[in-house]
Amino acid sequence: MEPGREPRSDQKTLERQIRAFHWVRLLAEIDGGRVAGGDGEREAAQRVESWMREIGFDEVATEAVTSRPRPGAVLALHCGVGALGCLVGGIAGLLLAGLAVASLRREHARGRAQLSRLLPAPDATVVSARAGPSRARQRLVLVAALDAPQAGRLFAWPASRRLLGRSGEAPVAAPAGLAGWLWRGLLAATCACAASALGASGALVQGALAALALLLSAAAAAGIEWARAKPSPGANADASGVAAMLTCGEQLLAQLRGDAELWLLAAGGHEPGACGVRAFLESRGEDFARDALFIHFDRVGGSALCRVRAEVGLTRLVHPPRLAELARRVAESGAFGEVRAVDWVGATSAAPVVARDLDALVLASLDEDGRARGDHRLADLPEALDTAGIVRAADFAAAVAMAALRGESDPLALV
């Protein structure tokens, strides 16, 4: 290459793919895994903090935040209480099953532990980086999850991939996914216990109580196994999101406008319920969040890049249209290939943001089966990822972000 000439764009892209793979590998190979609140998550935070400094961010901070119990333990506790209610029957059984249903509903709606407060929940770790003026007119926050899921046998069971639901372009009705099946089981247990409490004692009611006790006990056992299972390497979930966030953040930092503030947020405690993102929002206050645009990178190492239109669990959480409409128009340019709008079965790290009706864009990747590659599996390894897709997600997000900073997502611009 001649002196003074810029390297070809395809060479730059290849270099960014190599670096993204390097970041993913170093996170996926952390000894002991990156379970929320564990030593591996804290080690991942230290590595991400150093990478944020390397790409040019001077203001970097790491803090511990309150988390929630492991999802498997939460599943086991609620199913166990529901199963006990079916075994006891009568008014006492109704109270137990009703407690499990009410607790599950409140935990999913508020993101706060209810019945799960009985379980241990070590603090999670959050790493944030900031650049730009302290009193900026515009604010952009790039977010990725720091922790990885545990690879329970529940997710390796072939039938579970059908029962837990597919994400896709077609609208998905709530309740759906694991939370949906848990809700149905506990609700059925409550109804059966209510019949018993009202005096019904026939073979049909007793058979229903016995069958539900057996099913909920099996689910509780699966939850216990999940809570004690080995961590997934988490190359796709969510090391790919961290790599895309860093890649996008470096690109935006070089183009940052003088009146704009840029944040990177690697949030731990995602698997138990986006705890890191919730704590970040609460610590910064309503004025900060109201004026910010959030771009979340979820599992972006699959074959088809998508933007999440809605998250579906116990309810269908629809994302605000502002950034979604801008992303649709950027995707129509064709410069980034096809970017489909999908309903995501489950919850992303943007759930606390969307629940507050804040502007957010979530990017994720799906394979042909409508699922994230390697999710909750020991086979979620760096070699299985599409690193070109990680960089494409970063470039697409950067294009949407720059368009938003230019005002193209403002209400008048969308008319």
- Per-10-residue mean pLDDT of the chain, 415 residues long, equals 47 92 98 96 98 97 96 97 97 97 90 89 97 91 98 86 87 94 96 95 93 98 97 97 98 92 97 96 91 96 96 96 95 92 95 95 94 94 96 97 88 47
- Name the 3-class secondary structure at 89: coil
HEC profile of 11-23: HHHHHHHHHHHHH
pLDDT in the model for residue 5: 39
State pTM to two decimals.
0.93
> Helical H runs in 111-202?
153-156, 160-163, 177-197
Q: Say if residue 343 is preceded by a cis peptide, omega within 30 of 0.
A: no
Give all domains of the chain, ordered by start, each with its CATH number.
9-69+120-151+230-414 (3.40.630.10), 72-117+173-227 (no CATH)
Residue 6: is it exposed, middle or buried by C-beta count within 10 angstroms (0-12/13-18/19+)? exposed
Q: Answer for the pair 305, 167: CB distance below 8 angstroms, yes or no.
A: no
pLDDT in the model for residue 4: 39
Q: Give the side-chain half-sphere CA count within 13 A for 186.
A: 29
Q: Answer for the pair 77, 116: CB distance below 8 angstroms, yes or no.
A: yes
Residue type, 295: I
Distance CA 36, CA 298 (A): 16
**362-386 exposure pattern, b = at least 16 Cβ within 10 A, e = fewer:** bbbbbeeebbbbbbbbeebbbeebb
In the numeric block, the tokens 């900073």 are attached to 405
pLDDT in the model for residue 414: 45
Which DSSP string corresponds to 41-79? HHHHHHHHHHHHHHTT--EEEEEEE-----HHHHHHHHH
Element (H, E) at 309: strand 304-312
pLDDT in the model for residue 411: 55
